[in-house]
A and B are shown apart, each in its own frame.
Chain A
Amino acid sequence: GAVVSQHPSRVICKSGTSVKIECRSLDFQATTMFWYRQFPKQSLMLMATSNEGSKATYEQGVEKDKFLINHASLTLSTLTVTSAHPEDSSFYICSARASGAYSYNEQFFGPGTRLTVL
């Protein structure tokens, strides 16, 4: 149980294009999902917290207009990197906070999406 998927797992795009990453909780409902970015040999940095049906809360320094987050349902959140540039290349990981049968506090992570902007 508590499986989180991400799609795509890997994407390469040209500078200036937009990329959408999906995060799904497969066997549980997630009222809250989190988006992280991880650079090589660094830890996870929280970008934003999204709650189903409401606007995402962004961490300081994260551009809201550049990283669009939509949490349309209890099992799906999307992150769109708009007008991507090479400096946006990174490993993007989502997580979902489970409720119900699982501990309220635990976050379960997706497998990550490797974004490379040329």
Chain B
Amino acid sequence: EDQVTQSPEALRLQEGESSSLNCSYTVSGLRGLFWYRQDPGKGPEFLFTLYSAGEEKEKERLKATLTKKESFLHITAPKPEDSATYLCAVQAWGNTGNQFYFGTGTSLTVIP
């Protein structure tokens, strides 16, 4: 069964304390892995798409990496404004190729 698991469920960091969020997946044929940021009461905001193992993408303090079984979202020297829930989604080659499987997210709190 296709599945996406994110860890940890919640993470509290001091401002400037770097860390990584994990997204592990088991899907039949990965089409793409997506990272989103979601603020309370708002829709997810697109961050990155990764398509193949070894691929890396960077944006400001965020860096996403992908292996055959998992993806990491590295946060370098986070700031309080980075506090949000980070969602990982995987698109698999299914019947339609459209299905996105979302993880339950990691709630990040960055303390000043």
A residues with a Cβ closer than 8 A to B are 2, 4, 6, 32, 34, 42-46, 49, 57, 91, 93, 95, 97, 103, 105-112, 114
Contact = CB atoms under 8 A, between A and B. Distances in A.
Interface of B: 31-32, 34, 36, 41-46, 49, 87, 89, 91, 96, 98-100, 102-105
Contacts of B32: 105
Contacts, number: 53
With most chain B CB atoms within 10 A of its CB, the pick from A6, A32, A43 is: A43
B98 A32 contact: yes
A45 B89 CA distance: 11
Contacts of B42: 111-112
Contact of B96 (A2, A57, A95, A103): A57
Contacts of B91: 105
Contact of B104 (A43, A46, A91, A108): A43
29 contacts: A2-B46, A4-B43, A34-B100, A42-B104, A43-B87, A43-B102, A43-B105, A44-B44, A44-B89, A46-B100, A49-B96, A49-B98, A57-B96, A93-B43, A93-B44, A95-B43, A105-B31, A105-B32, A105-B34, A105-B49, A105-B91, A106-B34, A106-B46, A106-B49, A107-B34, A108-B46, A109-B36, A109-B43, A109-B45
